[in-house]
Amino acid sequence: MTTNKKLITMLFAGMMALSANAQELKVLSDTHAMLRIPANYKYLLMPVEESHENDYIRVSLDNKLVKEFNCKLAINKTDYTVPLDLGRIRKNEKGSENAAGEIVLDITIHRSANNGNRGGQLSIKDFACWNGMKVSNTFDTTNREKYRPVYHHTPTWGWMNDPNGMFYKDGVWHLYFQHNPYGSQWENMTWGHSTSTDLINWKFEDDVIERDAFGTIFSGSSVVDHHNTAGFGKGAIVTYYTSAGQAQTQSMAYSTDNGNTFTKYPANPVLTSEIPDFRDPNIIWHEKSQKWVMVLAEKSHINIYSSKDLKNWTFESRFGEEYGSHDGVWECPDIFEINGKWFILLNINPGGPFGGSATQYFVGDFDGHKFTCEDDKTETKWLDYGKDHYATVSFNNAPDGRIVVLPWMSNWQYANEVPTMQYRSANGIARDLGTFNYKGETYLSVKPSPEVMKAFSPKATGRLTDACRVDVQLRGNSTITLTNDKGEQVVIAYDNKKEELSMDRTKSGITDFSAEFPVVTKSPTYGKIKTLQIFIDKSSIEIFDAEGKMGMTNIVFPTEAYNKVVVKGGKAKIYPLK
Ligand code: FRU
């Protein structure tokens, strides 16, 4: 075919299949193949089969290695398709999405007993993936999941865990997140980017920080550098993340276009350690000492550093050996001040109150050098008493000095197995933190952010739907049962004497994907409580005391939506989304 004719055919097709018989595929051994990608397309669409193990793919442009990632290419059947963004590769390397250049995939096939036919005799050229592998200028992200929430953030496709580098600027909330663009299970950590003006409707922007020579991109934080302390410009976004390669080290990137694109700092990595678990840097501006402060999790304590310019860091102190839960690895710390007290948020996995992942916090004082904890060493304070509230950290630069946090709504015990495919995991709703006192001690209060409350109609309706808020006025002991026509149910119970709230999801629908999933979670209510706010969104239930004394975040997978609420010992009102 002449070049012109080929181009015309491609334009008409809009999408072109690459098959095993096509000259593009070269099988070199039973574990090795190469695939030449036709020019001028934005995406290569790659079929994935989740039950297999990862193949290793190296992408070259004009002989230069430009990308490497793991992907479970389909052998027998396709579960879903993921896009390799060829346009972005050309743009990164040559400055334009449409630049000419030869793109070749070098694929190492994983063959093992676990890989079904790969362990057997099936030849690479008979793998199912080749028939489904296509070049295209579009990638269809239309929702195909009945469990995808409607007012919570989810990745458009692929896996998500921790929220990262969140900040607010010029009316826009920026949320970065641990993204796997090449599958719906944890792998290939990359920072995806979504934005919102109301904390309810989110728009996926792009994958913005990608793996490099120092490793994949683990969790971290961003600050708005209002006074240009780092020298990248007034109002530049300065971001720290963990480079996860041979070791875990801390790297910097900055953005001068409000977080849409990032430039990596040439002198990375900035901070290193001999301890293997060394990650999740979180930075704030400390007004009193006029310095930046970074908290960083190292194994099972926190390191505190300070800096004038966001580039050179001085070790100040460490915190945590004697406090809180140590039944797992410490991850994703955060530090902030509310009402004259200082708080450290600290996520731990495993070691949570119901197994697996959870968020604990510490109360005390911080002078810019050292955190002095005032908690009783035998008590662990949890920010949320559900089983799906993890990696919770705050937005930098939130308006009016608010501390607004977002959790990842899953648990490492089963996050990779929950029954969705096109995407996996959502964030919880945004919450504003405050303080309250109980028996002489200070605690963090948790309330749904005002932006979230605004999303609901002020007028109650009688109908329970799969995306609504249920407010319950409690009259002493109460039981609230959400059920569907199949008899699946969630039972929420308040024990007025014990001052305890529980949620039972053992009969909530699909629970058998993990033995750790069917549980009853229980929360202290720190005194009597009067009003519950229950947020339901397809596959999640988040329960708050209206005064902020408890939060309980749990996911559920009913085979049909719960359509009935039965309340004993109280009265429910249902508020639909506006
Ligand atoms: C927490 C965590 C972080 C790490 C990231 C990797 O969920 O393990 O410590 O940076 O996830 O994806």
251 touches ligand 1 (CB under 6 Å): no
CATH number of 24-111+124-136: 2.60.120
> Three-state SS for 154?
coil
Q: What is the pLDDT of residue 462?
A: 83
Token code pair at residue 406: 């977002």
φ, ψ of residue 518 in degrees (nearest 5): -75, 100
48-78 burial, b for 16+ CB within 10 Å, e for fewer? Answer: bbeebebbebebbbeeeeebebbbbbbbeeb
- Rounded to the nearest whole angstrom, what is the distance from the C-alpha of residue 15 to the centroid of ligand 1? 36
Q: What is the pLDDT of residue 8?
A: 41
Compute mean pLDDT per 10 residues along the chain, 578 residues long, and list them. Answer: 42 60 80 92 96 95 98 95 97 95 95 60 88 93 97 98 98 98 98 98 98 98 98 98 98 98 98 96 98 96 98 98 94 98 97 98 98 95 98 98 98 98 98 97 98 98 95 97 98 98 98 98 98 98 98 98 97 97
Nearest ligand 1 atom to the CA of 220 is: 10
Nearest ligand 1 atom to the CA of 297 is: 9
- Rounded to the nearest whole angstrom, what is the distance from the C-alpha of residue 310 to the centroid of ligand 1? 22
219 touches ligand 1 (CB under 6 Å): yes
473-508 burial, b for 16+ CB within 10 Å, e for fewer? Answer: ebeeebbbbbbbeeebbbbbbbeeeebebbbbbeeb
Token code pair at residue 561: 């939506």
Domain with CATH 2.60.120.560 in the chain: 456-576
Query: CA-CA distance, 399 to 409, in Å (whole number)?
Result: 24
Query: How many other C-beta atoms are found inside a 10 Å radius of the C-beta of residue 445?
Result: 19
Q: Which of 279, 295, 329, 427, when mutated, tests ligand 1's pocket best, judged by the most ligand atoms within 8 Å of its CB? A: 279
Rounded to the nearest 10 degrees, how much is the dihedral formed by the CA atoms of 324, 326, 332, 335?
20
Q: Name the CA radius of gyration of the chain, rounded.
A: 25
Q: Does the annotation mark 126 as catalytic?
A: no
Nearest ligand 1 atom to the CA of 390 is: 7
- Rounded to the nearest whole angstrom, what is the distance from the C-alpha of residue 220 to the centroid of ligand 1? 9
Q: What is the pLDDT of residue 22?
A: 52
Query: CA-CA distance, 195 to 176, in Å (whole number)?
Result: 9
Token code pair at residue 114: 């676990």
Query: CA-CA distance, 525 to 529, in Å (whole number)?
Result: 7
298 touches ligand 1 (CB under 6 Å): no
DSSP string, 407-448: EE---TTTGGGSS-SSEE--BPPPEEEEEEEETTEEEEEEEE
What is the dihedral sign for C-alpha 110, 111, 115, 118? Answer: positive
- Rounded to the nearest whole angstrom, what is the distance from the C-alpha of residue 219 to the centroid of ligand 1? 6
> Three-state SS for 159?
strand
178 touches ligand 1 (CB under 6 Å): yes
Query: How many other C-beta atoms are found inside a 10 Å radius of the C-beta of residue 128?
Result: 18
Catalytic residue of the set 162, 207, 280, 384: 162
Q: What is the pLDDT of residue 113?
A: 62
Query: CA-CA distance, 255 to 176, in Å (whole number)?
Result: 13
From residue 368, how far is each of 161, 285, 336, 364 by CA, in Å? 30, 10, 11, 13
Q: Is the peptide bond before 450 cis (omega within 30 degrees of 0)?
A: no
Rounded to the nearest 10 degrees, how much is the dihedral formed by the CA atoms of 137, 141, 144, 147?
160
From residue 386, how far is each of 76, 268, 504, 526 by CA, in Å? 38, 38, 10, 16
Nearest ligand 1 atom to the CA of 280 is: 10
Give the angle subtended at the CA of 525 by the CAs of 519 and 528, to the nearest 5°. 135
Q: Are 390 and 381 in contact (CB under 8 A)?
A: no
Taking every pair of C-alpha atoms in the chain, what is the biggest distance, in angstroms? 82
Q: What is the pLDDT of residue 1?
A: 37
H or E element, residue 91? helix 86-94
Query: How many other C-beta atoms are found inside a 10 Å radius of the C-beta of residue 269?
Result: 17
Residue 439, classified by CB atoms within 10 Å of its CB into exposed (0-12), middle (13-18) or buried (19+), is exposed
Token code pair at residue 377: 């060493």
- Rounded to the nearest whole angstrom, what is the distance from the C-alpha of residue 331 to the centroid of ligand 1? 7
For domain 219-448, the CATH architecture is: 5 Propeller (2.115)
280 touches ligand 1 (CB under 6 Å): yes
Q: Give bridge partners of residue 243 from the DSSP assignment.
A: 217, 249
410 touches ligand 1 (CB under 6 Å): no
Query: How many other C-beta atoms are found inside a 10 Å radius of the C-beta of residue 321?
Result: 11
Q: What is the pLDDT of residue 167?
A: 98
> Three-state SS for 398?
coil
Question: Which CATH topology does 456-576 take?
Answer: Jelly Rolls (2.60.120)
Q: What is the pLDDT of residue 122?
A: 83
Domain with CATH 2.115.10.20 in the chain: 219-448
